[in-house]
Amino acid sequence: MRYLPKSDSDRREMLRTLGLSSADQLFDSIPAELRRKQPLALPRALSEPEILDYFRQHAAENAAGHVKLLGAGAYDHFRPVVIDALISRGEFFTAYTPYQAEISQGTLQAIFEFQTLLCQLTGQEVANASMYDGSTALAEAALMALRITGRSRVLVAANIHPEYREVMQTYLAGPGVTLAEVPVAASGQVDSAALEKLLNETVAAVAIQSPNFFGCIEEIPALAEQTHRHGALLVTAIAEPVSLGLLRAPAEADIVALESQAFGLPTSYGGPYAGVIATKEKFVRSLPGRLAGQTTDRDGRRGFVLALATREQHIRREKATSNICTNQALCALAVTIFLCVYGRRGLRELAEQNLAKAGYLAAELAKLKGVRLPYTAPFFNEFVVELDADAAEIHRRLLPRKFVAGVPLSRWLPERRGALLLCATETAKRGDLDSFVAALREVLQP
Amino acid sequence: MSDAIRKAAPHVSQSEALIFEKSTPGKQAFALPPLDVPAADPARALGAAHLRSDIEGFPEVSEIEIIRHFTRLSTWNYGVDTGMYPLGSCTMKYNPRVNEVVARLPGLATEHPLQPDEVSQGCLRILRDLERCLLEITGMDAITLQPAAGAHGEMTGVRLIRAHLTAQGDPRRVILVPDSAHGTNPATAAMSGYRVENIKSNPAGQLDLDALRQRMNGDVAGLMITNPNTLGIFEVRIREICEMVHAAGGLVYMDGANMNALAGIARPGDFGVDIVHLNLHKTFSTPHGGGGPGAGPVAVKKILEPYLPVPRLVELPDGRLRLVSDRPQSIGRMRAFVGNFGVLARALAYILANGPDGIRRTTEDAVLNANYIRKQLEGIYELPYPSPTLHECVFSDRRQMKNNVSTMDIAKRLIDFGFHPYTVAFPLIVHGALMIEPTESESKEELDLFIEAMKAIAREAETHAEMVRHAPHTTRVQRLDEVTANRKPILRWKPVPPPDAAD
Amino acid sequence: MYPENYRYTREHEWICVEGGVGAVGITHHAQDKLGDIVFVELPAVGRKLSAQEAFGSVESVKAVSDIYSPVAGEVTEVNAALADHPEILNQDPHGAGWIIKIKLTDPKAVDALLRARDYEDFVRSEDAT
């Protein structure tokens, strides 16, 4: 087996040192009745060419040739090739968690840079490095708000990504915590009048998403002011952070739960991604997840270490801020490189292209008979269309024409039978957008 | 000192500033294609109130500066690619390169988690094949690939326990955890609304069955157990333990972090456990990446299948695969989308490369390596538990502490000898623990160098204690001031403000 | 080492009562075992505590310890200086390193606590194990 760097004579010699004659004896401490006699029923060992064949074959059975106008929490953006060139360095990707700071300065400095970039983008004071993904980051942010305020109720906007809301339900469900839904206004944004009726002194947090699941941008300063008047915290989820290239930072939010996949991570059928929680310094001791902190060594040289570890499971155990042990370090590194490559002006330009592509698609679709845009709020690169037809059926009919027409909202909201959530990023070519519009016009004809 | 060191670790001595400090206005590293649709006016499209004017402090650098910056940073790291990483219970094994290639294939890396099942059969087939392999390896009945990490898998497992017992009428209040357990175990139980109680280990380093028997009653939802435990010792009475817990109506959760001692040799399903999680970034070779990402699949016995998170992967009679969410008894979703597909694909590549014989041989080599180290260091470092160990062994620093040399000092000195330290001061039941897991990826030559280094350090502890206490000496930075880092945390770079002109 | 007029607990707190109000802190032994202290979590003024109730915590880099109230009462003052200078707890644990002041519900409650010599014996026996 080519991953095992020992010869049979090495093994024999080592067994002799142990006074053993066969490898079986190494497992004498396992009771015989628990040891497996027959070999595992696994496929036989494949050579490297065969492994590549297996995966290439299955790669051909997916949707690589389709035009995918699909966002909904995972976004297709140009990934600069230097990302893979750098994260493929063995010193980065085969390294462990940087507990031994002296030989992990590469990882630690990169994490520190990541934390800084996320603070700059979100207008918050401190950011962790990182959570599993945006959905668990939002759930943990809600738990943070409960801890900080000592209150027991979380109001959850109905236009947060449905899968994020399901995760919040899973994480928060339990005695002593209640969740309540905040309805959506006709604009597509959170209904702030309805929110006002729900706010009281039992509410720990109001959770929103911006741009929200329907692609609409929320009025964060107003919602923050409303929330704060009742002593609650505003928790803002961001699933498409490229929007921050143009949109003002959500500095008024108390806690931001962000999915950074759009910043250089492939969509990869769902993961791995990297969530981030960014917040105010005064909440740092309630923050879960890894943090890299700056310090000096004996000779005054600047260096970085994992900081505030006493929040974490390996010290605080059952009183930890979370049970999380992993951070998505390699993903965070990819994100850091992406943000450095685009930089101050590039991220803005990237966001402008997204705005233009989605704006163009929306305008062209709005010209079609039987298609309308139901929401009035501004949107970034995603928007909802309402069809005079069953959207799931239309979606199905467009698939053989090599279009993934976003996602039908009826997948989560059965009453929205005519709605599609569409996304166009900078990767969408005009020719493909025009073809899509033409195809949709065709399939909509009775 | 230099005579004893036969292996060198590279540390480039230059200083590398933060990327923000290397930034100059006007530099750029990327060019987008020209826009082929009409440009949108952000103020008109979004409303001026929603716009930001700038991203202050964001770096402006060129491509070559980015390549150099991160390349230099990487040279300060130690990876499995550099040398042996004997971290206990971390299983720092070789990360095969073919795994990296397959995970990045167009057609896999490019797929969207919400695209229809009809055009995702390739991805779903990979997941289904992985499920079947992991079920075979663990001897369990059903599995979820959704959890993003071991701790996430633990949370899933505890929620499965809660769901099952709630369906029976009473979720109960307490989860038992051995005092040797990894910190995630009690943290997970507490996050899931259970009170945690420790069960002590006996002098043989195994769970004290009398203590368990005394505590096991109708208030206890379950026991979380690691097998082999964090001392590397197999819980020989695991079947009895499971029977004891089951008889009182509880469930047994096995932390599968140490599967590298069992794969192909013994199966958790045969032990009687109800749930086991796997760490794909440990046993199944997916890279640690400096701290993640990983994946923590959870395998269960049939009685718990209805509660598994959604979506479930289902194979139709005609062979087509579907993700289904209509599972009324499910605990719900543990995260958005189906799972860390990129990590899962890597794990499958590893299993396919090994086959049944490879898996077994890997486990044999892992256990052989650990016992070889244990045998050679036994007379030199104190071994607190004489019981046989499998893939890892735990020493204590008691002898070296006579000269005021602690496990942390020895670990730091090991860096000078070209190795990453072992796990320091864990498990907590051993005072001053040195927890060593070489994995199967080490050659006899590398093991011998490690043993020599540990012996040399033990000698230094007697004759040159200062050398050990002030280690490491050969790294770019000396020991860092963690006290100040924690008293006055600096968690981000801030631009230095210009001197105030008004003063 | 351990002031005669203080009283002590087995959780390594001390209390010094004057006019029905006790200053509470952690002992020299406790701060020594913890190492350099980086953070002290303080309770709110006005909080009511029962005897042995945890009211805060003390953190070093690698460890955290809860602090337990030796007596029942109400928190009248907290030592705000510890927020910016937690190292005071290491430097002067029995003096400037006081953590809270508590108005005792029952002034006689201190009589049940350990005297200096008993506490010293206790520490010595703990260290020996």
CB count in 10 Å sphere of residue B87: 26
Q: Give me chain A's average pLDDT, please.
A: 95
Residues of chain C contacting A281 with CB distance shorter than 8 Å: none
Best residue in A37, A107, A323 for a mutation probing chain B (most B CBs within 10 Å): A323
Query: What are chain B's domains?
Result: 19-74 (no CATH), 100-351 (3.40.640.10)
The closest alpha carbon to A384, from A213, A223, A227, belongs to: A213
Distance CA(B68)–CA(B70), nearest Å, equals 6
Query: How much is the average pLDDT of A210-232?
Result: 98
SS3 A35: strand
Distance CA(A436)–CA(A442), nearest Å, equals 10
Query: How much is the average pLDDT of B456-483?
Result: 92
Distance CA(B65)–CA(C58), nearest Å, equals 44
User: Where in B363-473 does DSSP place strands (E)?
Assistant: 393-396, 423-424, 433-436
Say which CATH superfamily domain A67-78+344-444 falls into. Answer: Aspartate Aminotransferase, domain 1 (3.90.1150.10)
Please report the residues numbered 39 through 98 in chain B whose beta carbons come closer than 8 angstroms to any beta carbon of chain C. Answer: none
CB count in 10 Å sphere of residue B139: 18
Beta bridge partners of C114: C8
Distance of CA A97 to the CA centre of its chain: 21
- Is B57 within 8 Å of chain A by CB? yes
The C-alpha of C41 sits at a distance from chain B's nearest C-alpha, in angstroms, of 12
- CA-derived radius of gyration, chain B: 26
Query: Under an 8 A CB cutoff, do C64 and A315 touch?
Result: yes
B8 vs B249 pLDDT, higher one: B249
> Beta strand A302-306 with A371-372: parallel, antiparallel or unpaired?
unpaired
- CA-derived radius of gyration, chain C: 14
pLDDT (0 to 100) of residue B503: 45
Cβ pairs bridging A and C (under 8 Å): 15
Q: Give the pair of three-digit tokens for residue B141.
A: 């009945």
Residue pLDDT, tens place only, A110-144: 999 999 999 999 999 999 988 999 999 999 999 99
Q: Which residue has the tokens 């269309």?
A: A385
B4 has a pLDDT exceeding 80: no
Sign of the torsion formed by the C-alpha atoms of A385, A388, A391 and A397: negative
Query: How much is the average pLDDT of A255-279?
Result: 97
Distance CA(A15)–CA(B238), nearest Å, equals 27
Nearest to A315 among C39, C41, C62 (CB): C62
Query: What are chain C's domains?
Result: 7-123 (2.40.50.100)
All residues at 6 or more sequence positions from A331 whose CB lies less than 8 Å from its CB, including other chains: A130, A260, A265, A272, A273, A274, B289, B292, B293
Q: Confidence band (pLDDT; 50, 70, 90) for B13? A: low
Q: Confidence band (pLDDT; 50, 70, 90) for B477? A: confident
A408 has a pLDDT exceeding 80: yes
Do residues A167 and A136 touch, judged by C-beta distance below 8 A? yes
B34 has a pLDDT exceeding 50: yes
What is the edge-to-edge ordering of all strands in the sheet holding B423-424? B393-396, B433-436, B423-424
Q: Give the pair of three-digit tokens for residue C117.
A: 């010599």
Angle of CA points B393, B398, B399, to nearest 5°: 100
Residue pLDDT, tens place only, C76-128: 999 999 988 999 999 999 999 999 999 999 988 888 999 999 999 999 988 76
Beta bridge partners of C21: C18, C103
A382 vs B477 pLDDT, higher one: A382
Do residues A425 and A75 touch, judged by C-beta distance below 8 A? yes
Q: Where are the domains of chain A?
A: 67-78+344-444, 82-339
Query: How much is the average pLDDT of A67-87?
Result: 98
Cβ pairs bridging B and C (under 8 Å): 13
Does the global pTM surpass 0.90? yes
Q: Which residue has the tokens 């930034």?
A: B23
pLDDT (0 to 100) of residue B8: 55
Distance CA(A337)–CA(A350), nearest Å, equals 15
Distance CA(B424)–CA(B58), nearest Å, equals 38
Residues of chain B contacting A338 with CB distance shorter than 8 Å: none
pLDDT (0 to 100) of residue B391: 97
pLDDT (0 to 100) of residue B459: 96
A317 has a pLDDT exceeding 80: no
Residues of chain C contacting B487 with CB distance shorter than 8 Å: 38-39, 86-87
Phi, psi dihedral angles at A184 (to 5 degrees): -105, 140
The closest alpha carbon to B477, from A286, A170, A300, belongs to: A300
Distance CA(B378)–CA(A19), nearest Å, equals 15
pLDDT > 70: percent of chain B = 96
Do residues B399 and B382 touch, judged by C-beta distance below 8 A? yes
Residue pLDDT, tens place only, B252-267: 999 999 999 999 999 9
CATH number of the domain at A82-339, out of 3.40.50.300, 3.20.20.70, 3.40.50.1820, 3.40.640.10? 3.40.640.10
Residue pLDDT, tens place only, A20-48: 999 999 999 999 999 998 999 999 999 99
- Is B486 within 8 Å of chain C by CB? yes
Q: Confidence band (pLDDT; 50, 70, 90) for B1? A: very low
Please report the residues numbered 124 through 183 in chain A whose beta carbons come closer than 8 angstroms to any beta carbon of chain B. Answer: 125-127, 130, 132-136, 161, 163-164, 166-167, 169-170, 173-175
Neighbours of chain A (3+ CB pairs under 8 A): B, C
Please report the residues numbered 325 through 384 in chain A whose beta carbons come closer than 8 angstroms to any beta carbon of chain B. Answer: 325-331, 333, 337, 339-350, 352-353, 355-357, 359-360, 378, 380
Question: What is the ipTM for the molecules in this complex?
Answer: 0.97
- Is A444 within 8 Å of chain C by CB? no
CB count in 10 Å sphere of residue C129: 4
Residue pLDDT, tens place only, B369-422: 999 999 999 999 999 999 999 999 999 999 999 999 999 999 999 999 999 999
- Is B46 within 8 Å of chain A by CB? yes
pLDDT (0 to 100) of residue B15: 77
Please report the residues numbered 91 through 110 in chain B whose beta carbons come closer than 8 angstroms to any beta carbon of chain A. Answer: 92-96, 98, 100-110
Residues counted in chain B: 503
Distance CA(B389)–CA(B234), nearest Å, equals 7
The closest alpha carbon to A179, from B171, A256, A160, belongs to: A160
